[in-house]
């Protein structure tokens, strides 16, 4: 009640609170949030939920790895001392893995490989994470160009969407970070190429192929609609 009253008071003073803009003051106790604020709240909620779900999942996986190893060791002809050493070794590796996951990522954590595409604000590169040797696609976006074209909100929505939506039809975002000049999106690498390359290679798709890709596109769009995002179709087609 007290924070709500403070917000209502702040709203009466223009510009006093960033939340004030989203609150209509008809009913003292009922803040009415603008749809933009509701979307932000929903996105934040989803991000936190995904974070904790991933955390629980990784804890469970860690336990399962230990059970499996214990079971294997019990079935194998290994001395008790050796079993303890192997289990200790597993715990050491698990701790190191957690430490690596907590590390704040930056471009220096990756070995940059070949350019695989060009986006509106810069290149997309294949890269290899130095710590794990895992391969990803790194999209690099020039901040000054985004600002110049007034696309900051679109890029922010793209980053939030990739982080938030967990769907087989939406590319997974592994991490994102920035330096003074660029924003970086590190995504799962999809080696199949994009639709444009496929169409250039095949010229015409069969009916079965078309149905397959249209169905996948519909499922992808449906999954982002569920999170209140809409897909922007190519501007070049609009008059
Ligand atoms: N995760 C990925 N795996 C493999 N290739 C990718 C990946 N992401 C992007 N690419 C390649 O890079 C190209 C450009 O990427 P993307 O379309 O995301 O950029 P963009 O800035 O959104 O471009 P535009 O706004 O012109 O659509 C893609 O057409 C694709 O060939």
Give dist(CA 112, CA 51) in Å, integer.
28
91, 116: one domain: no
CA 193 to ligand 1 centroid distance, Å: 9
Q: What is the CATH number of the domain that holds 131?
A: 3.30.200.20
97, 122: one domain: no
Q: Is residue 158 part of a domain?
A: yes
Domain that holds residue 91: 54-102
159, 65: one domain: no
Q: Is residue 25 part of a domain?
A: no
89, 139: one domain: no
Q: Is the pLDDT of residue 9 over 80?
A: no
Domain count, the chain: 2
pLDDT at 129: 95
Predicted ipTM > 0.85: yes
Q: What is the CA radius of gyration of the chain?
A: 24
pLDDT at 15: 46
Which one of 116, 122, 138 would you pick to mutate in the ligand 1 pocket, going by the greatest count of ligand atoms within 8 A of its CB? 116
pLDDT bucket at 222, cuts 50 / 70 / 90: very high
CA 119 to ligand 1 centroid distance, Å: 5
Q: Is residue 181 part of a domain?
A: yes
Protein residue with its CA nearest to atom 19 in ligand 1:
119
Question: Does this model's pTM top 0.90?
Answer: no
Across 36-40, 49-53, 105-109, the highest mean pLDDT is recorded for: 105-109
94, 113: one domain: no
Q: Is the pLDDT of residue 12 over 70?
A: no
Residue 150 or residue 22, greater confidence: 150
Protein residue with its CA nearest to atom 16 in ligand 1:
119
pLDDT at 232: 74
């Amino acid at each position: 009640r007290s924070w709500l009253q403070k917000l209502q008071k702040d709203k009466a003073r223009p510009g006093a609170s960033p939340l004030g803009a989203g609150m209509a003051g008809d009913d003292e106790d009922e803040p009415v949030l603008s749809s933009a604020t509701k979307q932000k709240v929903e996105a934040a909620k989803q991000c936190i939920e995904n974070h904790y779900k991933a955390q629980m999942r990784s804890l469970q996986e860690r336990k399962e790895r230990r059970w499996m190893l214990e079971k294997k060791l019990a079935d194998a002809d290994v001395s008790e001392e050796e079993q303890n050493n192997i289990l200790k070794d597993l715990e050491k590796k698990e701790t190191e893995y957690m430490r690596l996951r907590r590390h704040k990522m930056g471009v220096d954590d990756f070995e940059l490989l070949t350019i695989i595409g060009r986006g509106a604000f810069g290149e997309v590169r294949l890269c290899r994470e130095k710590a794990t040797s895992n391969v990803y696609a790194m999209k690099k976006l020039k901040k000054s160009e985004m600002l110049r074209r007034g696309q900051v909100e679109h890029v922010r929505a793209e980053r939030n969407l990739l982080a938030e939506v967990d769907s087989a039809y939406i590319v997974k975002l592994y991490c994102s970070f920035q330096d003074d000049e660029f924003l970086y999106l590190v995504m799962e690498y999809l080696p199949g190429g994009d639709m444009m390359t496929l169409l250039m290679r095949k010229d015409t798709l069969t009916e079965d192929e078309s149905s397959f890709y249209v169905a996948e596109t519909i499922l992808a769009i449906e999954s982002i609609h569920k999170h209140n995002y809409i897909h922007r179709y190519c501007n070049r087609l609009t008059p």
